[in-house]
Amino acid sequence: MASILVTGGTGFIGTALCDLLREKGHTVLILSRIKTDNPNTFYWNLEEHYIDPEAIIKADYIIHLAGEGIADKRWTKERKHLLIRSRVDSANLLFEKVKELHPNLKGFISASGIGYYGSTTSEKIYNENDVANRDFVSAICKVWEKAANQFNKINIRTVILRTGVVLSREGGALEKFSQSIKLGVGATLGSGEQYIPWIHLEDLCNMYLEAIENEEIQGIYNAVAPDHLTNKSLTKIIANKLKKPLWLPNIPAFVIKLILGKMAAIILEGSRVSSEKIMATGFKFKYPNIREALDN
């Protein structure tokens, strides 16, 4: 069994992933900005350019999930800087400390996002070989992945998971999708024709586990379910599951743009993303389609 250092280990995805890793017998080490007496929790501080050296020395693998939520707040100039810095500076700091301390690190697994392909709605199905778009989220993903790929240069197996919209029973995107529907005021957003590449939280955690345990997995993979669906179809399926009517017209795009500003693009646009590469490794989705995911 391995010792796995996780950044962002107390977040939505991190909490579930750490539980799974422990369940499988791995030792989980967590980086925290708060000093504690927990022997498996280690202090780090980006402003101080500091990571407890013991955390790096003990780690067989590093999973890098840390990063401010893309859709949590409006994109002010300061917020944009923080979104990039929380991902890139943290990855750079991890890389510097690994080079400095020379641990016996076997792998570096980093999150990224399907936003790499851009906020655009088209008939194209994007795969890992496609180039990055030029919008803000694409730019974040591009520099995020560049920071992660530094580990390749020092011969450490590197895996990047470009993650779609994560669905779970509690928290995450599904809770936000469902709130207005539960209140009887659900509606399709914009045209409703934009695709939502999604993944069940359990499948995502299993993918990280597979990236640890399967040494053949290396490089970039899309972490999305093989089931393609639009905002319109997802809204209808959720309403049907909740036995709630959908009687309101689509919420116009301009209204969403007034509320969210430029961030509206990640809601109003979206194309299909391929999961073929990860499935070619032998990975099997427990929830390959949206109805099975929502039943769970």
Return all residues near 220 (Cβ < 8 A) that are at least 6 apart.
112, 128, 145, 159, 160, 162
- State how many domains the chain has: 1
The b/e string for 92-104 (b: 16+ C-beta within 10 A; e otherwise) is bbbbebbeeeebe
Q: Say what the pLDDT of residue 96 is.
A: 96
Range of the domain at 119: 3-295
pTM: 0.94
Sign of the Cα pseudo-torsion (79, 16, 58, 156, in order) = negative
Long-range residue pairs from 243-246, CB within 8 A, at least 24 positions apart, any chain: 244/181, 244/182, 244/184, 244/186, 245/184, 246/181, 246/186, 246/187, 246/188
Phi and psi for 146 in degrees, rounded to 5? -60, -40
Residues 6 and 29: their CA atoms lie apart, in Å, by 6
- Residue-level pLDDT at 105: 96
CATH code at position 80: 3.40.50.720
pLDDT at 75: 87
pLDDT tens, residue order, the chain (296 aa): 899 999 999 999 999 999 999 999 999 999 999 888 899 999 999 999 999 999 999 999 999 999 998 888 888 999 999 999 999 999 999 999 999 998 899 999 999 999 999 998 999 999 999 999 989 999 999 999 999 999 999 999 999 999 999 999 887 777 777 887 887 778 888 888 989 999 999 999 999 999 999 999 999 999 999 999 999 999 898 888 888 888 888 888 888 888 888 888 888 899 999 999 999 999 999 999 998 988 88
DSSP character at residue 155: T
Q: What is the Cβ-side half-sphere exposure of residue 8, based on CA atoms within 13 angstroms?
A: 21
Tokens of 176: 């936000």
Euclidean distance between CA atoms 188 and 221, whole angstroms: 30
DSSP class of 249: P
Give the DSSP letter string of 158-203.
EEEEEE-EEE-SSSHHHHHHHHHHHTT----BTTS-SB--EEEHHH
